[in-house]
């Protein structure tokens, strides 16, 4: 699975990046970050949430990999205002998931499982030929006053257990 697996993630504050890099550390899969073309200002929480709420698609930097070379994809995304962020919306719109097995790694600010987000992403991936194999959602307890991402020690056990249960480790 190692040579045919890729982790692709979007992270604004850094919590989704912590999760993606822990998956990469445990699996040694290739990793690629989705980046906004225009840097988002950390203080513009309302603007970010509104863009997600209305389903806007952002402008993202070109990515330097060929997804067709990978069979398995781990997609990391935060949840903003109960929705996917504009950069993820753009990635989902532009990407062919034909014959891809996809695992979702979601970071969120509350304790609820973001089932609507999982269902929305799953529908978009399956519409483009992929199959979602599983998902995990990690609560970040993000504080907008400090903008500190989740601590690595808070994700290590849940990520390890999820990968183990899924037969990935």
CATH of the domain at 130: 3.40.50.360
**Which residue from 55, 104, 60 is spatially nearest to 82, judged by alpha carbons?**
55
Compute the distance between CA of residue 78 and CA of residue 85 in angstroms, rounded to an integer.
7
Domain total in the chain: 1
Specify the pLDDT at position 76. 98
Among 36, 29, 85, 96, which Cα is nearest to 62's? 36
State the CB neighbour count (10 A cutoff) for residue 70.
19
The answer to whether the CB of 137 falls within 8 A of the CB of 110 is no
24, 31 Cβ separation under 8 angstroms: yes
Per-position pLDDT tens, the chain of length 169: 667 999 999 998 899 999 999 999 999 999 999 998 877 666 556 566 655 556 667 778 888 778 889 999 999 999 988 999 999 999 999 999 999 999 999 999 889 999 999 999 999 999 999 999 999 999 997 777 777 899 999 999 999 999 999 999 9
Residue 63 buriedness (CB in 10 A; 0-12 / 13-18 / 19+) = middle
Closest CA to 105 of 23, 169, 160: 23
**In sequence order, what are the residues at sequence separation of 6 or more whose Cβ sits closer than 8 angstroms to the Cβ of residue 46?**
none
Calculate the dihedral angle through the C-alpha atoms of 86, 96, 104, 56, rounding to the nearest 10 degrees. 10
**Residue 126, domain extent:** 2-165
Q: What whole-number distance in Å separates Cα of residue 137 and Cα of residue 88?
A: 16
Helical residues (DSSP H) of the chain, grouped into ranges: 15-27, 45-53, 86-94, 115-127, 152-165
């Amino acid at each position: 699975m190692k040579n045919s697996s890729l982790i692709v993630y979007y992270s604004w504050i850094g919590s989704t990046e912590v999760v993606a890099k822990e998956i990469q550390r445990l699996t040694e899969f290739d990793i690629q970050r989705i980046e906004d073309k225009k840097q988002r200002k950390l203080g513009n929480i309302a603007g970010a949430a509104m863009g997600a709420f209305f389903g806007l698609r952002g402008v993202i930097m070109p990515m330097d990999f060929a997804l067709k070379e990978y069979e398995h994809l781990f997609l990391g995304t935060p949840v903003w205002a109960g929705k996917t962020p504009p950069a993820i919306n753009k990635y989902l719109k532009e990407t062919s998931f034909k014959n891809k097995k996809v695992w979702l790694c979601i970071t969120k600010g509350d304790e609820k499982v973001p089932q609507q987000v999982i269902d929305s992403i799953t529908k978009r991936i399956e519409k483009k030929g992929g199959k979602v194999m599983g998902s995990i959602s990690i609560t970040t307890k993000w504080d907008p006053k400090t903008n500190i991402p989740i601590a690595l020690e808070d994700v290590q056990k849940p990520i390890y257990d999820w990968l183990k249960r899924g037969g990935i480790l």
